[in-house]
Amino acid sequence: MSIVVTGATGQLGRLVIDALLATVPAASVAAVVRDKEKAADLAERGVELRIADYDRPETLAEAFEAGDRVLLVSGSEVGRRVPQHAAVLGAAKTAGVAQLAYTSILGGPEADFDLAVEHQETERLILASGLPYTFLRNGWYSENYTANLAPVLAHGAVVSNAGEGRIASATRADFAAAAAAVLTGPAEEHLNRAYELSGDTAWSLAEYAAEVAAQSGREVTYSNVPAEAHLAILTGAGVPEAFAGILVDVDRAVERGALALRTGDLARLIGRPTTPIAVTIREALNAS
């Protein structure tokens, strides 16, 4: 029996591996990856590599074993995730895994924005499969914003159509620590339940802009624009129209309060407060 992480060379997957290796022996951890070379560093740390591809279901047959506790990290290709996830679920069911944890989205079936649809369908597939499950309904990553600090500083503006909506974000490392806790803790505590995971504090983009300004020493303002204008700005900057539409739709959801939900689940799972957005901003500025 192993603790198995899919998508282990991705941004979240790597952090989950790091969190696991801080608490359990490397020999008990397996990483499902497409590219063995990209995972060479994981192998050097003693993690077992299982080579498989979400888009090639036949490769998933050897990815799981009976009794494994599995984290299905959701695919990154919007529009293709349901068949990809279904292939993973089929292989996990055949193998007889003991737990299937899935990185879903905050709000689960109640989430009312486009990006949630594939997660909702995956949750339905997991429930129908009969697999022992844990839904990790992740909120917004703070890095979704701090990764784009360069253009914010260059233009002196945070541009959005989110109005005064608030975002209870946390870092990827916070969410990774929660996944590791669910995969290493007593299974009976976590099976067949859902966690709504979000940061301890919800902040607005106006507050975010003010914090970036204070820490950088530069003038940064918040510019709230109509959704159509935001879409034009994004596509004009080279963002593909389909993805730009998703971002605009998420901002509409932020304005409605869909990403402001705070339950305390994340802090309880990781045993500490979640990382404040000010800390993530500081780290991003120091790295730039």
> What separation in angstroms does the CA of 231 have from each of 205, 242, 270, 273, 284?
17, 10, 37, 35, 26
**DSSP annotation of 240:** -
Token couple for 25: 């022996």
Band the pLDDT of 69: cuts 50, 70, 90: very high
Report the share of the chain in percent with pLDDT over 70. 100
pLDDT of residue 79: 80
As a whole number, mean pLDDT of residues 33-57 equals 94
Residue 196, pLDDT score: 98
Q: What is the pTM of this model?
A: 0.96
CB neighbour list of residue 84: distance below 8 Å, 6 or more residues apart: 54, 55, 75, 77
Stated as kind and residue range, the H or E segment containing 230 is: helix 227-236
3-state secondary structure of 269: helix
| 231, 248 contact by CB (below 8 A) | yes
Buried b (16+ CB within 10 A) or exposed e, 65-95: eeebbbbbbbbeeeeebbebbbbbbebbeeb
Q: pLDDT above 90 covers what percent of the chain?
A: 93
Decide: 99 and 134 in contact? Cβ < 8 Å.
yes
Q: Where are the alpha helices (DSSP H) in 70-135?
A: 81-95, 117-129
How do 133-138 and 203-204 pair as beta strands?
Answer: unpaired
pLDDT tens digits for range 95-153: 999 999 999 999 999 999 999 999 999 999 999 999 999 999 999 999 999 998 999 99
* 187 has pLDDT over 90: no
> Which candidate, 133, 141, 257, 127, places its Cα nearest to that of 194?
133
Q: What is the mean pLDDT of residues 28-32?
A: 97
Query: How does the average pLDDT of the chain come out, rounded?
Result: 96
Provide the strand spans (E) within 46-150.
48-51, 69-72, 99-105, 133-138
Tell me if 65 sits within 8 A of 2, measured CB to CB. Answer: yes
Strand 3-6 to 157-160 pairing: unpaired
Say if CB 199 and CB 266 are below 8 A apart.
yes
Q: How confident is the model at residue 75 (pLDDT cuts 50, 70, 90)?
A: confident
The confidence band for 286, taking pLDDT boundaries of 50, 70 and 90, is: very high
φ, ψ dihedrals at 85, nearest 5°: -65, -35
**For residue 232, what are the CA distances in angstroms to 75, 240, 242, 249, 252?**
27, 11, 12, 13, 15
